């Protein structure tokens, strides 16, 4: 199964952009790249997903490398409410593989 690798933790200052990287060097052509985040004592929450092209939504942007072996989640202006564990996940035919996630700390 494809795996994802993320840094264990990252810090950001409030209202500054945050770039969360993810490596998925064994990705297959039909794997979708999803990002979810999990707040303490809650279930994961969808953030964004893509296949080959960069994607934007109201929450974030997703930049996907041309060879698709890595991606970056971009939070344009981090807020205190963005502090969470961010997971980069590959979905394919219903199956998913979670990385260990990046714990994002946002400092006021």
Task: Tell me if 39 contacts another protein by CB under 8 A.
Answer: no
HEC string of the chain? CCCCECCCEEEEECCCCEEEEEECCCCCCCCEEEEEEECCCCCCEEEEEECCCCEECCCCEEEECCCCCEEEEEECCCCHHHCEEEEEEEEECCEEEECCCEEEEEEC
Under the binding rule (CB under 8 A), the answer on residue 32 touching another protein is yes
Query: Site map for another protein, 41-70, x if CB under 8 A?
Result: -xxxxx--x-x-------------------
Nearer to another protein, 13 or 88 (CB): 88
Best CA proximity match to 79, nearest among 23, 37, 49, 35: 37
Using CB under 8 A as the criterion, what x/- string covers residues 80-99 for binding another protein? Answer: -------x---xxxxxxxx-
Stretch that binds another protein, among 13-21, 38-46, 66-74, 76-84 (CB under 8 A): 38-46
Site residues (CB under 8 A) for another protein? 30-32, 36, 42-46, 49, 51, 87, 91-98, 100-101
């Amino acid at each position: 199964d494809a795996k994802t690798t993320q840094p264990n933790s990252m810090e950001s200052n409030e209202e500054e952009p945050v770039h969360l990287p993810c490596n998925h060097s064994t990705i297959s052509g039909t794997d979708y790249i999803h990002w979810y985040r999990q707040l303490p004592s809650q279930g994961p929450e969808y953030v964004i997903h893509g296949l080959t092209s960069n994607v934007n939504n109201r929450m974030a942007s997703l930049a996907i490398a041309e060879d698709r072996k890595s991606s970056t989640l971009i939070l344009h202006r981090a807020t205190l409410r963005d502090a969470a564990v961010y997971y980069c996940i590959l979905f394919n035919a219903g199956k998913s593989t979670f990385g260990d996630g990046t714990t994002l700390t946002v400092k006021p």
